[in-house]
Amino acid sequence: MGKLYQLVRDQRTDPADLSSLRALLVSGSPLAPGRLAEALDVLGPVVFQGYGQTETGMITMVTPADMVAHPVALASVGRPPPVTELSIRDGEGRPATERELFVRTPAQAASYWNDPAESAEVFVDGWVRTRDLARLDSDGYLHLLGRIRDVGIVQANLVYAGPIERILAADPTVAEAYVVGRPDDATGEAVHAYVVPAAGHVPDAGRLRALVAEALGEPSVPRTIRWIDRIPVAPSGKPDKRALERTPIR
């Protein structure tokens, strides 16, 4: 996500000849719809967003043709190929419209090496628990809502990072936004946000907090919002939230 934003920014300020570019695959974490639309506008209809895991291989993909024909697809990670099955289940394993995503693909693993306990947790009756929160819309597009483990308890309320990050990242003054939870003496845990400003913009922390409060309620409002130049990246290429948790707040 961060590298794509940098590419779009650089292409705006110092354009290169991209006429030979046919496809650019983005994965790691879902793009905000506005950022994906901007990438298509600046780079052309060459951006594909894929979603998958090491345990499963590719699960879904949204193509430029999808996004042009169905604008709702901009907010999704696409649809699965016919050989891939998706199942959304609640905490008891029952079918649900919005909860944890289970998948079954031809490329999936069967277990983890020398880790029977974790294998039993993730590989269930031929399905793989993704530990991602998701929903399917009426057109079959998959929407990721956050990580099962990426949750805090603020004033006895369950607060998921994903929805907060989407609200923040949708603001035109914000390029990227990530949220972590930290222990708090008053509320049990508190939300802290790290934001990369969009080029040429200075986000207003008060307005961002108001947007989150209006959409998600007061427990989800970040206690602090820190501006940073770039989000740290783990060896996997995904945002490194553990590194963010070690970044001082102010």
Answer yes or no: do 83 and 16 share one domain: yes
Structural domain harbouring 125: 2-147
pLDDT at 228 over 80: yes
* Distance separating alpha carbons of residues 169 and 220, to the nearest angstrom: 15
- Residue 1: predicted pLDDT: 55
Answer yes or no: do 80 and 59 share one domain: yes
Angle between helix 161-169 and helix 205-216 axes, rounded to 10 deg = 130
Answer yes or no: do 69 and 170 share one domain: no
Of 207, 250, 206, 208, nearest to 228 by C-alpha is: 250
- Boundary (domain end) residue, out of 115, 147, 179: 147
Answer yes or no: do 59 and 156 share one domain: no
Mean pLDDT, range 201-222, rounded to an integer: 94
* Distance separating alpha carbons of residues 112 and 6, to the nearest angstrom: 36
Whichever domain contains 211, its CATH number is 3.30.300.30
Q: Which one-letter DSSP state was computed for residue 78?
A: -
pLDDT at 226 over 80: yes
Q: What is the pLDDT of residues 107-154, one digit of tens each?
A: 999 999 999 999 999 999 999 999 899 999 999 999 998 887 787 878
Mean pLDDT, range 42-68, rounded to an integer: 94
- Residue 48: predicted pLDDT: 96
Is the pLDDT higher at 28 or at 157? 157
- Boundary (domain end) residue, out of 147, 169, 198: 147
Q: What is the pLDDT of residues 74-102, one digit of tens each?
A: 999 999 999 999 999 988 889 898 899 99
Residue 241 CB partners (closer than 8 Å, separation 6+): 150, 178, 180
Do the bridges between strand 85-89 and strand 142-147 make them parallel or antiparallel, or are there none, so unpaired?
A: unpaired
Answer whether residue 250 is part of any domain. no
Of 58, 56, 40, nearest to 48 by C-alpha is: 40
- Residue 236: predicted pLDDT: 65
Q: What is the pTM of this model?
A: 0.74
Alpha helices (H) in 135-235, listed in sequence order: 161-169, 205-216
**Which of 12-21, 22-31, 115-124 is predicted with the least confidence, judged by mean pLDDT?**
22-31
pLDDT at 41 over 70: yes
Whichever domain contains 46, its CATH number is 3.40.50.12780
Question: Using CB atoms within 10 A of its CB, is residue 74 exposed (0-12), middle (13-18) or buried (19+)?
Answer: buried
Is the pLDDT higher at 160 or at 236? 160
Is the pLDDT higher at 158 or at 17? 17
Q: What is the pLDDT of residues 1-14, one digit of tens each?
A: 567 878 888 998 89
Answer yes or no: do 70 and 108 share one domain: yes
Q: Which one-letter DSSP state was computed for residue 239?
A: B
